[in-house]
Structure 1
Amino acid sequence: MPTSSNDGPAPTRRAYRSTLREERAAETRRRIVRAARELFTSEGFASTTVAMIAARAEVAAPTVYATFGSKSAIVGAMLEGLEQEAQSEAWDARIRSEQDPRRRLALYAAFLRALYSGGQGIWPAAMGAAGDPAVAELKERGEQRSRAWLAPIVNALAEADALAVGLSREDAVDRAWMLSALELYFRGTAGLGWDDDQYEAWLAQSLLAQLTRPAA
């Protein structure tokens, strides 16, 4: 009896071809992001063109547009991967498991140091693309995540009666959020020539001074 067109190995071949296409597309995407990151770091966001990214990634310019649509969209893809690169989940677990509420502030400063320093070529590009709606939306989501990180840290200080006198939890989160701004990292490192150790120490000390009462 003849085998119908729906029988046999054809579905496997189709699945294989589909998987191969997905792998090639993912590799192309990685090459474009890697090339853009290198160029944003060396040339800056404004001076980097899609043609330059395509040449560095060894793909055609239309491939870059088809994959991302714009330079700003490439920046968005980079931003989404930064917290993963900085091992944010591991930092979150470490901060939450720390019993000393003041020590949590120091650990948070260490996390921001890792997050900001790991994206040296990306953050300036993101600030250069801030006018793009997609990048602006990612920035807003990042600021919301920052507040979500800070809320349990501040709550631990409040429960330990360690918040500065007269400071509400809401105001404490506001102060910590302001001190955590990416712009202040670049003011210190690029503007003042600080290294990452100096930035981390400054942030940890500032958080303690602004949020807590002196330890007994």
Structure 2
Amino acid sequence: MVDPSQTGHGTRRPYRSPARRQGAADTRQRITAAASELFAEHGFAGTTVANIAARAEVAAPTIYATFGSKGAIVRALLAQMEQNADSAGWTRRITLEKDPHAKLAVFAQWTTALLSSSKTVIAAARGAAADPAIIELRDEGDRHRRQGLAAVIAALAQVKALPPGLSQEHALDRAWMLTGVELYLAATEGCHWSDKQYEEWLTALLQQQLLSP
């Protein structure tokens, strides 16, 4: 009788348990949730892997096996930012909006939603700024944000909405600088603005810098 666990070449098929996969996903979610809470309470430097393990009710070696380092947990949290802020939905809204002023207003709303929903993670990333995983993800995020803005600028150029003499490249530079996290933190933390105040200011600034009078 042929062993059903064997292939025709005598190689054992890898066993993949749906329950095991779900258990691993649940463990990963518990770890990231616990880390997010602790980063909010104590900051990145004030949070240890042991703290995270205790809050997530897992062993510390489980965290290292799942992520590898505390910085890698921040990387995983940052990777969730756009998903948590409904990036796909906002992208559709921005793309479908034909009026240049309204398109930039929606983009400012999305930028605010993205940054506002991730304040804790952003603060933790700043605390882990020297971690190679964070540096890599920050650079990746900057490239991704620039690619998204390039589509917006191209749409404005197509309907000749850019000011005379402003190239698409320079318009992209302006938009990329204005929508960075540094200005958001300066406004909301440094100046104690509300998210609505930041959104209105960013909208006006983008329209002023990117559209013909």
Is TM-score (shorter-chain normalized) higher than 0.5?
Answer: yes
Amino acid across the alignment from 1:50 = V
Aligned to 2:9: none
Distance 2:165 2:3 in 1: 77
Aligned to 1:6: 4
Aligned to 2:88: 89
Aligned to 1:172: 171
1:47 paired with 2:46, answer: yes
Q: How many residues align?
A: 207
Aligned to 1:113: 112
Distance 2:60 2:38 in 1: 15
Amino acid across the alignment from 2:159 = A
Please report the RMSD computed on the Cα atoms of aligned residues, expressed in angstroms: 1.8
Shift of 1:159: 2.1
Contact 1:102–1:157 (CA under 8 A) maintained in structure 2: no
Amino acid across the alignment from 1:6 = P
Distance 1:203 1:40 in 2: 28
Amino acid across the alignment from 2:189 = A
Distance 1:141 1:108 in 2: 20
Matches within 5 A, 1:58-207: 58-207=57-206
Runs ≥4 residues deviating over 4 A: none
User: Could you list the per-position Cα deviations for residues 172-196 of structure 1 after superposition, in whole angstroms to 9, with x for gaps in the alignment?
Assistant: 0000100011011110001111111
Distance 1:127 1:166 in 2: 37
Contact 1:101–1:153 (CA under 8 A) maintained in structure 2: no
Shift of 1:160: 2.1
Distance 2:175 2:3 in 1: 65
Amino acid across the alignment from 2:63 = V
Aligned to 1:20: 19
Contact 1:154–1:169 (CA under 8 A) maintained in structure 2: yes
Q: Which runs of 5+ in 2 are unaligned?
A: 6-11
Does the residue aligned with 2:152 lie in a helix, a strand or coil? helix
Q: Which runs of 5+ in 1 are unaligned?
A: none
User: Could you list the per-position Cα deviations for residues 131-190 of structure 1 after superposition, in whole angstroms to 9, with x for gaps in the alignment?
Assistant: 111111111111111111111211222222221222111000000100011011110001
Distance 2:2 2:142 in 1: 57
Distance 1:193 1:96 in 2: 32
Distance 1:162 1:99 in 2: 11
Amino acid across the alignment from 2:66 = T
Distance 1:19 1:128 in 2: 36
| Residues 65 and 99 of structure 1: CA distance in aligned 2, closer, same or farther (over 3 Å) | same
Does the residue aligned with 1:121 lie in a helix, a strand or coil? helix
Q: Provide the TM-score with structure 1 as the length reference.
A: 0.91
